[in-house]
């Protein structure tokens, strides 16, 4: 059967009314892949929820389909967001689909190329500021109060409603909730949305509750240290955020679920990023790999016991950020002349190795 998209598939769980437009790019229904090698190597049962398989390549599509549909329902003509890249790609795509204007505000030089390319192609009005995400978010929050524009950052409650559907899918795919959900944390909306989703499904379908493990980048670890980071910095630009908007909701998710926040360094993120792609064939963007790096760290320091059933959320597609991939890889194309004999000799050497 053809997957109808989230608003149709989960309408009983979402604020969908008879006036909500049937907006969709057939988002959701993403794969839950078992990491066979890493599960054996680490002595756990480890799965990844591959959110990069969504139509614009990240989990943001889940929240954006709901937020943009509600904006249309409420008569809005324009949406606005601040973004480290993925939110803006999703906002621009769903606005294009719904026939709305989209304005995005991004931190100059700190968004991955694939994400910028998307916003351009979907036809957004792009404003690049000499500031970081937190500053951009403050601006758009204020501007949307006085202008006839709908804010579609995750402070818009419809965003979290849409995003909670990923927790439903995990429960359906596994049969129950996992023991632990490992998730990268930036603005802290997604961890809050997952927790809401797990709780709602547990109430109606008795699927149980996971412990929520949220991982921030060390250079942007506000929740771990319980203080704002004025100048957040990390290679994982998607989570380069120093003052998460959903701070309280995320703390509640971790406390209620007996989970934890922890931080991972850029080195740990890059190492997980490479290992995931080269040993499992799964290419996720650097920020996403904070979840895998976090699982590895927690296994080493004993905070996750052996035998645990873990789902790590891979929030965005690796292709979003080709520069980081090319710059961090040790593999470079071998340049040879256009000569079959030379190429064949080289290949024989590779096969023998």
Q: Which residues bind ligand F0G (CB under 6 A)?
A: 58, 60, 83-87, 154, 184-190, 238-239, 285, 287-288, 315-316
Which residue's CB is nearer to ligand F0G, number 207 or number 288? 288
Asked if 165 contacts 132 with a C-beta cutoff of 8 angstroms, the reply is: no
CB of 182 to ligand F0G, least distance (A): 12
The rounded radius of gyration (Å) of the Cα atoms in the chain is 20
Asked if 253 contacts 181 with a C-beta cutoff of 8 angstroms, the reply is: no
Which residue's CB is nearer to ligand F0G, number 184 or number 259? 184
CB of 106 to ligand F0G, least distance (A): 8
Tell me the C-alpha distance between 338 and 298, whole Å: 49
Tell me the C-alpha distance between 12 and 17, whole Å: 10
CB of 293 to ligand F0G, least distance (A): 13
Classified as helix, coil or strand, 316 is strand
Helices 290-300 and 266-280 meet at what angle, rounded to 10? 100
Asked if 110 contacts 132 with a C-beta cutoff of 8 angstroms, the reply is: yes
CB of 5 to ligand F0G, least distance (A): 21
Which residue's CB is nearer to ligand F0G, number 69 or number 193? 193
Would strands 260-264 and 125-129 be described as parallel, antiparallel, or unpaired?
Answer: unpaired
CB of 299 to ligand F0G, least distance (A): 21
Asked if 244 contacts 287 with a C-beta cutoff of 8 angstroms, the reply is: no
Which residue's CB is nearer to ligand F0G, number 318 or number 339? 318
Which residue's CB is nearer to ligand F0G, number 107 or number 178? 107
Residue with tokens 């002349």: 337
CB of 343 to ligand F0G, least distance (A): 38
Which residue's CB is nearer to ligand F0G, number 16 or number 287? 287
């Amino acid at each position: 059967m053809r997957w109808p998209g989230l608003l149709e598939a989960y309408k009983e769980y979402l604020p969908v009314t008879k006036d909500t437009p049937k907006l969709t790019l057939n988002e959701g229904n993403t794969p839950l892949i078992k990491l066979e090698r890493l599960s054996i190597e680490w002595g756990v049962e480890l799965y990844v929820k591959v959110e990069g398989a969504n139509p614009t390549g990240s989990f943001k599509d889940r929240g954006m389909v709901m937020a943009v549909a509600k904006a249309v329902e409420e008569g809005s003509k324009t949406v606005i967001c601040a973004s480290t890249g993925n939110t803006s790609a999703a906002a621009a795509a769903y606005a294009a689909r719904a026939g709305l204007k989209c304005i995005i505000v991004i931190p100059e030089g700190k968004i991955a190329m694939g994400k910028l390319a998307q916003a351009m192609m979907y036809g957004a009005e792009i404003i690049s500021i000499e500031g970081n995400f937190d500053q951009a978010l403050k601006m758009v929050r204020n501007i949307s109060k006085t202008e006839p524009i709908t804010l579609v950052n995750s402070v818009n409650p419809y965003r979290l409603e849409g995003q909670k559907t990923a927790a439903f899918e995990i429960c359906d795919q596994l049969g129950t909730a996992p023991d632990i959900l490992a998730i990268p944390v930036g603005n802290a909306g997604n961890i809050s949305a997952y927790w809401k989703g797990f709780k709602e499904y547990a109430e109606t379908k008795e699927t149980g509750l996971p412990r929520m493990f949220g991982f921030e980048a060390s250079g942007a670890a506000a929740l771990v240290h319980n203080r704002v980071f004025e100048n957040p910095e990390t290679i994982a630009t998607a989570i380069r955020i120093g003052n998460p908007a959903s701070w309280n909701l995320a703390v509640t998710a971790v406390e209620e679920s007996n989970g934890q926040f922890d931080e991972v360094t850029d080195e740990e993120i890059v190492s997980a990023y490479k290992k995931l792609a080269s040993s499992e064939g799964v290419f996720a963007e650097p920020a996403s790999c904070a979840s895998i790096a976090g699982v590895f760290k927690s296994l080493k320091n004993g905070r996750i016991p052996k035998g645990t059933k873990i789902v790590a959320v891979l929030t965005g597609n690796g292709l979003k950020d080709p520069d980081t991939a090319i710059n961090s890889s040790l593999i470079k194309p071998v340049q040879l002349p256009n000569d079959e004999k030379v190429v064949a000799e080289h290949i024989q050497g590779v096969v023998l190795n």
